[in-house]
Chain A
Amino acid sequence: MQKKSTQKTIIYHGSIILLGFLMIYPILWTIASSLKPEDEIFRNAASLIPSELKWENYLQGWEGFGNLSFSTFFVNSTFVTTMVVIGTLFSSTLVAFGFARVKFRFRTPLFVCMIVTLMLPQQVTLIPQYILFHNLGWVNTYLPLIVPAFIGGIPFFIFLMIQFIRGIPRELDEAAYIDGASTFGIFWRIILPLTTPALATVAIFSFYWTWDDFMTPLVYLNDTKLYTVALGLQLFSDPSSLSAWGPMFAMSVASILPQLLVFLFFQKYLVEGITAGSVKG
């Protein structure tokens, strides 16, 4: 009996580790390729061990091309992402509190509208939004990337915050109300501090989706000086002009490094957030 369960444990861990290795292999392969000498990347393609570590790939890659280095793209991405995270936190907390705690007229139909936009394909609004931003003269600026976050942005985040606020006992609000707190005071002093875990989740996810986002910057930014990391990398890795594989993989690693670091430090919030928002609904 004992023997059988040990065997089972070994099979369990063995198969999960094997499958896990396959899962993570493409990422390890990128890191390995970023350190390989040029001629080795495709000669011994499957191998994860470079014959020598070519750290120069990173320096070379960072220099970019023309007169644009990756510093520019990283500064741009950092700026856009920071603004979007701030905007998302601002709008999703306010709006979620309004829906979850204030019994205003038309609340239910408006809430339904919000839920419906959760399922709205991005492409449907893409074109008229482009025309709108074009007419406002916002094309080739960061405004189309940033402003939407301040006015609701991704309804998923509002939904997630609503779910979380609904879990906070109403008695807290009532007690504060009797003590003379205004509605805004309740929001600011009672609810907001209690939603910190949900705020962290929202911040991390909006960081991810903005850092990753390729389509929106592709549509709105023409000037290479304004490019985000995603666009910069795409420019750099264009198959028709590509000669420097090592540096290209080095910059691929650099582009996902912020995401990996955030994941490493905040994975608890990430994993909790994704499960909290969906299932309770």
Chain B
Amino acid sequence: MKKKKQLRSQRSIDITGFTFIAPWLIGFLGFIVGPMIASLYFSFTNYDLLSAPTWIGFENYITMFTDDARFIQALKVTFIFVFGSVPLKLAFALFVAMLFNTKRKGVGLYRTLYYVPSILGGSVAVAVVWRELFGREGALNDVLGIFGIEGTSWVTSPDFALSTLILLVVWQFGSPMLIFLAGLKAIPNELYEAAAVDGASPFLQFLKITLPMLSPVIFFNLVMQTIQGFMAFTQSFLITNGGPMDRTLFYAVYLYEKAFAHFDMGYASALAWILLLICALFTALIFKSAQSWVYYESEGGR
């Protein structure tokens, strides 16, 4: 049988293979690699879509770091958003997943209930609702009023607007929760039983068994959520429109503004490349750090 397989020439296998992956290959070259090279070029130009791009060297990049307070502000906001929302979201997702990792009645239903906010994701409806729930006359202040607390308009308050957006993404913790849940189910129960016999407290079991066994899943969630955090757009664009006083000016919103409100495509391309570098840097850092905390049982600590 082996021999017969080898009779097919590598050439015909290549043709078959490339035919199957052709759709992706066309998309990859034409819609990703090509545009990325173009965008790198545009980032060194002044380009407004109408007239031909003019080469200005590093000027866009220099302006960004020396003469663009809003760029710095957008970076700051985005970092606070990512560092605020990702750990909270993952911690909450893990906590809920552990609650659901039991064979009690009704768990399937609960899981569904907790997942609903996440399927609505970045929909406009959710953004609209968030704006009103946390508005001056919204439901939150109504409830606070019962306790005699005078609320504010949370979404337009410079101090609270960003926290309101962080709360929104933490609320949509469903996908990482399901991934954690699958990871938890894969941990053999005997480990906990043995630990319990040795008298390890539940907290110690969590620390010594759950966390290490779950580390590949934590790693996966961390990478995906961090990148998603850096790209967040809809929440800020629709709920706060970057305001008040640029306190929620997400990087993606600033980039959108430069590109599609001012048609400053050169500058926006430079912004996009800085975003790419930041994402790559963080992914690399997480991958690098993974060697010391991600534990692969089957592969002897790959």
Contacts and interface: CB of A to CB of B under 8 A. Distances in A.
Contacts of B129: 26-27, 29-30, 249, 252
Contacts of A209: 121
Given A98-B21, A128-B39, A279-B182, A214 B31 contact: no
B222 to A, nearest CB: 12
Interface residues of A, number: 93
A249 B125 CA distance: 8
Contacts of B175: 274
Nearest to B135: A42
A152 B24 contact: yes
Given A127-B39, A131-B38, A215-B233, A267 B31 contact: no
Interface string A99-111: 1001111010010
For the complex, would chain B's binding face be called helix, strand, loop or mixed by DSSP majority? Answer: helix
Contacts of A51: none
Contact of B123 (A42, A97, A187, A259): A259
Contact of A230 (B38, B110, B124): B124
A123 B23 contact: no
Interface stretch (A64-72, A195-203, A232-240): A232-240
Contacts of B83: none
Interface string A75-90: 0000000000000001
A259 B120 contact: yes
Given A121-B276, A237-B128, A248-B128, A42 B35 contact: no
B31 A129 contact: yes
A141 interface: no
24 contacts: A17-B110, A24-B113, A27-B120, A29-B133, A91-B27, A98-B18, A99-B21, A102-B17, A123-B231, A124-B276, A128-B38, A129-B31, A130-B259, A131-B265, A153-B27, A183-B16, A208-B121, A212-B123, A230-B123, A271-B112, A274-B178, A279-B179, A279-B182, A279-B186
Interface of A: 9, 12-13, 16-17, 19-20, 23-24, 26-27, 29-30, 33, 42, 44-47, 90-91, 94-95, 97-99, 102-105, 107, 110, 113-114, 117, 119-132, 134, 148, 150-153, 155, 158, 174, 177-178, 183, 187, 208-209, 211-212, 214-215, 219, 229-231, 233-234, 237, 239, 248-249, 252-253, 255-256, 259-260, 263, 267, 270-271, 274-275, 278-279, 281
